Structure 1
Amino acid sequence: MTGRPATVARGAAPAGLLLVAAAAAWVWVVAHRGGAAAMPGTMGLGLPAFLAVWTLMTAAMMLPATAPVAALYARTITAHRAPRMAVFTAAYLLVWAAAGLPAYGLAAGLGRTASLPAAAGTAVAAAVFAVNGVYQLTPLKDRCLARCRSPVASMLRYASYPGAARDLRAGAHHGGFCLGCCWSLMVLLAAFGLMNLWAMVVLTAVITAEKLAPAGRLLARAVGIASLALAPAVFWLPSLAPALTTGPPPGM
C-alpha cells in the first residue's frame, strides 16, 4: 500500500512546480502587458523581444493543461527527478518558442492591416476566425487532442527512448502534439490582440478544458462551430476583432 502513495507523490511535486511557473508567467503578463488589449502586429517588438514575450505567454497559457502530463511522466522517473523534469519542461517550452518564429512573421504581416482601411482588417479577421473554426473540426486536431487527453500511450513510447536524451525527446514530442492541438487557437490572438489579457484568460480556459474536462472533445467542436460563426459576424460587429478592425491611425 505504501508504493502507490509514493508514486503519486512523485508526480504531484513536478505538477505543482509547473503550476507555480505558469502563475509566475501570468504575473509577468499582467504586470507588463495587461493593458495592451488591442495592439496589432508584433507590438513594436523586435524578434528577440517578441520571442521572449511569446514564450512567457505560452508558458502562462499552456503549462496549466500540461501539469497532469508532467505528473504522469514524473511517476516513470525513479532517480534525478528534478533535473530530468526540468529538461522535459524546457524541451516542451522550446517547441512553443520555436513556434514563435512563424508567429512573429504572421504578426508582422497582420500588423500591416493597421495602415489599411478598417474593412480590410475586418476581412482578415474573418479569415482568422474561419481558419480556427475549420481546423477545430479536422481529424488532425482530434488526433492531437486525443494524445493530450490520453497520454498513457505516449508514456509507453517515452519509456522506450534510450539514453540521456530521453527527457528532451519526451518533452519535445509532447510539445509537438500540444502545438498541433492548440496552434489555431493561438492564431485567434492576432484578431483579439496578442497580449489581450481577457482573450488570454478565455483561451487558456478553453485549452485547459479541451484537454482535461470529460467533455473536452465536444467542447473543441463547439469552439470550432462558434469560431466559424464569428467569421461572418465580425462584418457586423468589428469590435469582435479589435486588433484588426481599428483602421489606420489618425493622419495616415
Structure 2
Amino acid sequence: MPHLHLAPPAPTRPGFLLPARELAVAWSLMVLLAALAWALTVGQSRHMGMEPGTMGLALPLFLLLWVVMMAAMMLPSVAPVAITWVRGINRSTAGPARAVRIAGFVSGYLLVWTVFGLLVYVALAATGHLVDLDPAAGRWIGASVFLLAGAQQFGPLKRVCLRHCRSPMFQLLQYSRFRPWAKDLRVGAHHGLYCVGCCWGLMIVLIPLGVMNIAAMAGLAAVIFLEKLWRQGPWLAWAVGLLFLVLAVLAPFHEWLLPGLGTSGPPMDQMTG
C-alpha cells in the first residue's frame, strides 16, 4: 500500500483578527471619518462664540453639530471595538459588506450619543437662562458641573462601564445572540450606552468650558482615548477626576476657568464682603 503524504493543515487566524490589509483599510476608514468630523467642527467653531446656553442654535441644528462633535471625539476610541465586532460576527464578510456593517455599528453608537445630546441641550438652555438672570450664577454652575464630573470619575458606574469599554470581548460574544434584524445598529447602540455611562461626566464639563471650545474638545478626546486603550487608563480616570474636583473649588474664584458660561459677575470679595 503506497505511503500517503498528507499536507499539514493551513494555519487559521483567530476569530476576531483581521488580515493586515483589511485591518489597515478598516482603520483608515475610521480615521478618515474622524478627521472629516474634526475639520467640520473646527470650521464651524470659527463662526461661533462660547456664549452661555445653546448659542442661539435650534434643537435640530444643535443635534447635527453635536453628532459631528461626537464622531470627532469618540470614533478613534470606538474604532477597535467596531472593527473587532464586524470581523467576529461573520468572517466571510468582506469588502463593501464589511464597510456597511461598520457603518451600521457606528450609526447605532452615535444614535445613543444623539439622545444624550438632547439632555445636553436642555442643560445648556437652563444654564443659559440662569446666567441671563444673574451673571454671577455662572460661577456656581461651573463649580457644580466640575464637582459632578469629578464625582462621576470615581463612581461605580464609571468603573463598570470603563471596564467594559477596555475589555469588550466578552460582551461582543454576548452580542452574537442578538436577532439578525438591524443587528449591527443595535450592537453599536448597546455599546454606546456603556460609552455614555463611562464618559458623560467628561462631556458635561463642556458646559463651563464651552461646547465649541476646540482645545477642551481635543483634550477630552485624548483623555477618552487613553482611558479606554492605555494600560494605565483607570489611573488616568482617577487623576482627571481629582483635577475636576480641584477646578470645582477654584471655579467660583476664577472666572477665566468658565469661558462657556460667560461669567461677568462682581469679584468674589465683593460678593462675600
Task: Report the CA distance shift for 1:211/1:156 in structure 2 as closer, same or farther (over 3 A).
Answer: same
Q: Report Cα offsets for 1:83-126 as digits up to 9, x if no partner.
A: 12211111111111111111110111111243244431101100
Q: Which residue of 2 aligns with 1:106?
A: 123
Q: Report Cα offsets for 1:39-70 as digits up to 9, x if no partner.
A: 22111000100110011011111111111111
> Root-mean-square deviation (CA), in Å?
1.9
Task: Report the CA distance shift for 1:126/1:116 in structure 2 as closer, same or farther (over 3 A).
Answer: same
**1:166 Cα deviation (Å)?**
1.7
CA contact (8 A) 1:145 1:211 kept: yes
Task: Report the CA distance shift for 1:2/1:27 in structure 2 as closer, same or farther (over 3 A).
Answer: farther
2:155 pairs with 117, 131, 138, which one? 138
Q: Which amino acid aligns with 1:92?
A: Y
Q: Which residue of 1 aligns with 2:72?
A: 60
Q: Which residue of 1 aligns with 2:103?
A: 86
Q: Which residue of 1 aligns with 2:7?
A: none
Task: Report the CA distance shift for 1:8/1:40 in structure 2 as closer, same or farther (over 3 A).
Answer: farther
Q: Secondary structure at the match of 1:20?
A: helix
Q: How many residues were matched structurally?
A: 248
Q: Which residue of 2 aligns with 1:7?
A: 18
Q: Which residue of 2 aligns with 1:220?
A: 237
Q: Secondary structure at the match of 1:243?
A: helix
Q: Report Cα offsets for 1:4-54 as digits up to 9, x if no partner.
A: 397244444333212211110000011111464532211100010011001
2:41 is the counterpart of 1:24? no
**1:245 Cα deviation (Å)?**
4.4
**1:136 Cα deviation (Å)?**
0.6
Q: Which amino acid aligns with 2:126?
A: G
| Distance across 2 between alignment mates of 1:56 and 1:97 | 10
Q: Report Cα offsets for 1:127-176 as digits up to 9, x if no partner.
A: 00000000110011010011111111111111222313221221111111
CA contact (8 A) 2:83 2:102 kept: no
Q: Which amino acid aligns with 2:185?
A: L
Q: Secondary structure at the match of 1:101?
A: helix
Tell me the percent identity: 44
2:193 is the counterpart of 1:176? yes
Q: Secondary structure at the match of 1:163?
A: coil
Deviates more, 1:175-184 or 1:8-17: 8-17
Q: Which residue of 2 aligns with 1:153?
A: 170
Q: Secondary structure at the match of 1:13?
A: helix
Q: Which residue of 2 aligns with 1:71?
A: 83
TM-score, scaled relative to structure 2: 0.85
**1:2 Cα deviation (Å)?**
6.3
Structure 1, unmatched stretches of 5+, are none
| Distance across 1 between alignment mates of 2:234 and 2:136 | 34
| Distance across 2 between alignment mates of 1:180 and 1:226 | 20
| Distance across 2 between alignment mates of 1:172 and 1:15 | 20
Q: Which residue of 1 aligns with 2:4?
A: none
| Distance across 1 between alignment mates of 2:45 and 2:56 | 13
CA contact (8 A) 2:52 2:262 kept: no
Task: Report the CA distance shift for 1:220/1:208 in structure 2 as closer, same or farther (over 3 A).
Answer: same
CA contact (8 A) 1:130 1:228 kept: yes
Q: Secondary structure at the match of 1:43?
A: coil
Task: Report the CA distance shift for 1:142/1:8 in structure 2 as closer, same or farther (over 3 A).
Answer: farther
CA contact (8 A) 1:40 1:194 kept: no
2:252 is the counterpart of 1:235? yes
1:46 pairs with 39, 51, 58, which one? 58
Task: Report the CA distance shift for 1:34/1:69 in structure 2 as closer, same or farther (over 3 A).
Answer: farther
Q: Which amino acid aligns with 1:123?
A: W
Which structure has the greater CA radius of gyration?
Answer: 2
| Distance across 2 between alignment mates of 1:114 and 1:168 | 39
